[in-house]
Structure 1
Amino acid sequence: MTDIKNPDAGNEIKPNDFYDRVDALIHIANQQCNQVDKGKVSASFLFAAARFNSWVSASGFENSELMQANRQELVQYFVQQYQSMLEDNLDEFISNFSSYQKGK
Structure 2
Amino acid sequence: MPTDADENFYARADQHIHLSNDQLADEPGRGKVSASMLFAASRFNAWVSACGFQSGEQMAQAREETLAYFVEQYRLMLEEHLDDYIANFDRHMAPAQP
Pick one of 17, 23, 29 that aligns with 1:37.
Answer: 29
Tell me the number of residue pairs that the alignment of Structure 1 and Structure 2 aligns: 93
Structure with higher RCO (Cα < 8 A, 6+ apart) = 1
- Matched letter for residue 94 of structure 1: I
Residue 59 of structure 1 corresponds to which residue in structure 2? Answer: 51
Q: Is residue 2:85 matched to residue 1:93? A: yes
Deviation at 1:54, TM superposition (A): 0.1
For residues 56-88 of structure 1, the C-alpha deviation after alignment (integer angstroms, 9 at most, x for no partner) is: 000110110100000000000000000010000
| Secondary structure at the counterpart of residue 95 of structure 2 | coil
Alignment gaps of 5+ in structure 2 = none
| RMSD between aligned residues | 1.5
Alignment gaps of 5+ in structure 1 = none
Looking at structure 2, the residues matched to 22 and 29 of structure 1 have their Cα atoms a distance apart, in angstroms, of 11
Structure number with the higher helix fraction is 2
Residue 21 of structure 1 corresponds to which residue in structure 2? Answer: 12
